[in-house]
């Protein structure tokens, strides 16, 4: 279990530090007490301990800020909580939750099915013939949606690849500096094409390719990779970090290539 969830005091310490980070520098102990569900006196004691531990710095009356050490501690604790939540939802609840899949043939409620990923979507085939299986919770005709529960095994698939192409900003030539033929070939081989930045969108249009999205390109490519789809993300060099940050946060492997 995550350290901050081992006891009430650790969990309260985590929540109070997060509230300080959210409200700094003007911190109302009363508002924090209401948000966390403890008394103002308790908040005062927690804050005093956080200051003593070097996680919070007092700047004046009711003025506090989280130190670098405090930020690092919050990030570590939040990561622990996230991993524990993933464990609960994926490992513990995975066998009891219900998911929707596309039936590859007629399926009857209660029938065992084999699960697979096709074009990034979950498919269910009657019978137990693969490494990942489940049980249908509804009747379904071929090509329609079917409920599945009782998951066992691991779906066999290769994670998708993400290639990030950088386009020069407009002050450095922008989309005009891009090899449109090279970009078109890369996009044709990809399952998903996304863009972020005006120069990136224009570069794709010059390559006769319309992006599937111009928002949250990194997060979308990461989701696609997790479902076995290959993605091309075209990003203006000035903001390519938004894409790579999202991919790193999702533990998705990627390659960055310049187009200019």
What pLDDT, on a 0 to 100 scale, did the predictor assign at position 255? 95
Alpha-carbon distances of 209 from 112, 178, 181, 197, rounded to whole Å:
42, 14, 11, 15
In 215-244, which positions are buried (b, 16+ CB within 10 angstroms) versus exposed (e)? eebbbbbbbbbbbbbbbbbbbbbbebebbb
* pLDDT value of position 92: 58
Return the CATH fold of 3-92.
Arc Repressor Mutant, subunit A (1.10.10)
pLDDT of residue 151: 85
Indicate where the chain has its CATH 3.40.1010.10 domain(s): 162-258
Over residues 43-89, the pLDDT tens digits come to 999 999 999 999 999 888 888 899 999 999 999 888 888 887 877 66
Residues forming a β-bridge with 207: none
Fold of 162-258: Cobalt-precorrin-4 Transmethylase; domain 1 (3.40.1010)
Residues in the chain: 260
Cα 19 to Cα 16, 67, 180: the distances in Å are 5, 14, 49
Distance CA 118, CA 242 (A): 29
CA dihedral (33, 34, 39, 41) in degrees, to 10, reads 40
- In the prediction, which pLDDT does 201 show? 97
Distance of alpha carbon 199 from alpha carbon 197, whole angstroms: 6
- SS3 call for 45: helix
The stretches in the chain having pLDDT less than 50 are none
The pLDDT assigned to 94 comes to: 54
What lies within 8 Å, CB to CB, of 23 at 6+ separation is 31, 32
pLDDT at 96: 54
Q: Where in the chain is the domain with CATH 1.10.10.10?
A: 3-92
**193 pairs with which residues across the strands?**
232
pLDDT score for 186:
95
What predicted TM-score, i.e. pTM, was given to this entire model? 0.59
């Amino acid at each position: 279990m995550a350290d901050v969830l081992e006891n009430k005091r650790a969990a309260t310490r985590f929540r109070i530090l997060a509230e300080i980070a959210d409200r700094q520098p003007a911190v109302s102990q009363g508002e924090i007490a209401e948000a966390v569900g403890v008394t103002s006196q308790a908040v005062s004691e927690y804050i005093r301990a956080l200051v003593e531990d070097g996680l919070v710095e007092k700047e004046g009356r009711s003025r506090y800020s989280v130190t670098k050490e405090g930020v690092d501690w919050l990030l570590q604790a939040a990561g622990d909580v996230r991993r524990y939540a993933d464990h609960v939802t994926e490992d513990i609840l995975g066998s009891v939750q219900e998911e929707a899949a596309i039936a590859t043939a007629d399926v009857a409620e209660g029938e065992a099915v084999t699960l697979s990923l096709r074009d990034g979507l979950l498919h269910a085939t009657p019978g137990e013939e693969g490494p990942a299986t489940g049980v249908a919770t509804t009747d379904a005709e071929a090509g329609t949606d079917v409920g599945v529960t009782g998951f066992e095994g691991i779906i066999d698939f290769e994670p998708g690849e993400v290639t990030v192409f950088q386009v020069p900003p407009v002050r450095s030539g922008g989309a005009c500096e891009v090899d449109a033929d090279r970009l078109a070939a890369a996009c044709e081989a990809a399952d998903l094409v996304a863009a972020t930045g005006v120069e990136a969108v224009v570069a794709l249009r010059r390559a006769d390719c319309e992006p599937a999205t111009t928002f949250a390109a990194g997060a979308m490519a990461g989701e696609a990779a997790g479902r076995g789809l290959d993605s091309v993300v075209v990003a203006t060099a000035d903001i390519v970090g938004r894409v790579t940050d999202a991919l790193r946060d999702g533990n998705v492997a990627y390659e960055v290539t310049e187009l200019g």
